[in-house]
């Protein structure tokens, strides 16, 4: 079968690229186990996100003039409204990411609805507009998530792993596909005790995977959507790796750096 190469992106661009950041802070740990609330050192992994990493990431994006998307749980936004507003002021998109990073497949319908509304209300209060994008915590959906998102007026969601291009559900909701190998957590998420412990990856290794994956997406004109977490990618040596990747991507012709919302809007409007 002939696969259509490229031709998907505005102004003749060959490839679309989004840098997305899931600003989970402490909720990454609190949602895994409520007992983690008693572990200040473990929670401080997440606090590094707002204390150090998000400002460093914003500075990096400003330097390279790249608009990005940040998915923020309501619990984090409530505690750091100034930083969330600053993300928006710098031209980035802020999307919905649950309240306390609840995994949708574990929720009752009433809880899932409540969390969707609560996260939206908190972000709207800070941003002055409702978020139109959603990324499910832990990249899971319940059997109801997609219909609830349509019902609540979301334009897009981002969690499926079955494609390299956006697509639309019957409801019109756009899916922006992701993949674990294009997520920093698989390589850098570490804690010395349970729940998660693994060897910390070298950024050179991660760079080679992300670069080669990008090169393939570029060849086929697909949508390169990277998912990062400030508490992991915000470390100095990893930011250097991200900058190396940005420079590699920028050396190619016809690259459209866009926020998730721009890609979703383009996808529904293209003929």
Q: Which residues bind Zn ion (CB under 5 A)?
A: 22, 24, 137
CB closest to Zn ion, residue no: 22
The residue (of 13 and 158) whose beta carbon lies closer to Zn ion is 158
The residue (of 178 and 249) whose beta carbon lies closer to Zn ion is 178
Q: Closest separation between CB of residue 22 and Zn ion, Å?
A: 4
Q: Closest separation between CB of residue 63 and Zn ion, Å?
A: 25
Q: Closest separation between CB of residue 115 and Zn ion, Å?
A: 13
The residue (of 22 and 26) whose beta carbon lies closer to Zn ion is 22
The residue (of 46 and 203) whose beta carbon lies closer to Zn ion is 46
CB 116 within 8 A of CB 110: no
Close Cβ partners of 263 (under 8 Å, ≥ 6 residues apart): 16, 18, 156, 166, 176, 223, 225
CB 163 within 8 A of CB 179: no
The residue (of 75 and 256) whose beta carbon lies closer to Zn ion is 75
Q: Closest separation between CB of residue 183 and Zn ion, Å?
A: 10
Q: Closest separation between CB of residue 135 and Zn ion, Å?
A: 7
């Amino acid at each position: 079968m002939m696969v259509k190469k490229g031709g998907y992106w505005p102004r003749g661009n060959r490839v679309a690229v989004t840098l997305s950041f899931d600003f989970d802070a402490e909720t990454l740990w609190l949602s895994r186990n409520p007992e983690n609330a008693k572990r200040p050192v473990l929670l401080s992994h997440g606090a590094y996100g707002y204390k150090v990493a998000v400002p460093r990431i914003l500075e990096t994006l400003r330097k390279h003039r790249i608009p990005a998307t940040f998915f923020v749980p309501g619990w984090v936004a409530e505690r750091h409204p100034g930083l969330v507003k600053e993300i928006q002021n710098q031209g980035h998109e802020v999307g919905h990411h649950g309240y306390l990073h609840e995994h949708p497949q574990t929720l009752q319908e009433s809880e899932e609805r409540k969390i969707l509304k609560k996260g939206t209300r908190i972000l709207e209060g800070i941003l002055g507009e409702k978020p139109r994008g959603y990324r499910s915590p832990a990249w899971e959906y319940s059997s109801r998530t997609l219909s609830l998102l349509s019902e609540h007026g979301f334009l897009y969601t981002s969690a499926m792993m079955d494609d390299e291009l956006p697509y639309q559900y019957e409801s019109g909701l756009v899916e922006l596909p992701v993949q674990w190998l294009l997520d920093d957590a698989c390589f850098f998420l570490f804690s010395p005790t349970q729940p998660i412990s693994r060897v910390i990856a070298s950024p050179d290794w991660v760079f080679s995977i992300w670069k080669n994956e990008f090169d393939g997406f570029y060849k086929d004109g697909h949508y390169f959507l990277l998912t990062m977490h400030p508490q992991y990618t915000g470390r100095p040596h990893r930011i250097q790796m991200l900058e190396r990747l940005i420079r590699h991507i920028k050396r190619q012709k016809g690259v459209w750096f866009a926020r998730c919302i721009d890609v979703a809007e383009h996808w529904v409007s293209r003929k």
